[in-house]
């Protein structure tokens, strides 16, 4: 059973995220939270499946993306819902990359995701 969780897909289909992203400042907060951060799907797999994946060196409930891709996610959601005509560069390097605001943390937790910071060795 191979299951891969995708925060991008969940964000694009979540009415609350879409509503938050209408506000440019909050959209930047979501962008920043996607950068320099891994996200883990909370209790995504049963314990036995999680152990099997760990033994195989797989962690399918971890999701991350590049800064450019993060900017594209935010721009695409805003374009689809608010006709903003943006692309990744409207968010790329907008500051605070890796910071997770309370709004984003609460929203992603509601969706079943938690931040999983990179180890210093990675």
pLDDT in the model for residue 36? 95
pLDDT in the model for residue 1? 45
Per-residue pLDDT reduced to its tens digit, 102-112: 999 999 999 99
**Structural domain spans, the chain:** 7-116
pLDDT in the model for residue 121? 62
Per-residue pLDDT reduced to its tens digit, 54-91: 778 776 788 999 999 999 999 999 999 999 999 999 99
For residues 121 and 39, which has the higher predicted lDDT (pLDDT)? 39
pLDDT in the model for residue 44? 66
Check: CB of residue 78 under 8 Å from CB of residue 15.
no
Which among 107, 113, 119 has a CA at the least distance from the CA of 43? 113
């Amino acid at each position: 059973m191979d299951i891969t969780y995708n925060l991008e897909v969940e964000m694009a289909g979540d009415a609350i995220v879409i509503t938050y992203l209408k506000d440019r400042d909050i959209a930047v907060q979501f962008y920043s939270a996607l950068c320099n951060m891994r996200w883990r799907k909370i209790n995504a797999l049963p314990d036995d499946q999680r152990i099997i994946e760990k033994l195989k060196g797989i962690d399918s409930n971890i999701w991350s993306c590049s800064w450019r891709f993060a900017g594209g996610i935010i721009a695409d959601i805003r374009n689809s819902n608010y006709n903003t005509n943006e692309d990744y560069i409207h968010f790329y390097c907008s500051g605070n990359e890796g910071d997770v605001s309370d709004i984003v943390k609460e929203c992603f937790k509601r969706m079943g995701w938690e931040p999983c910071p990179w180890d210093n060795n990675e």
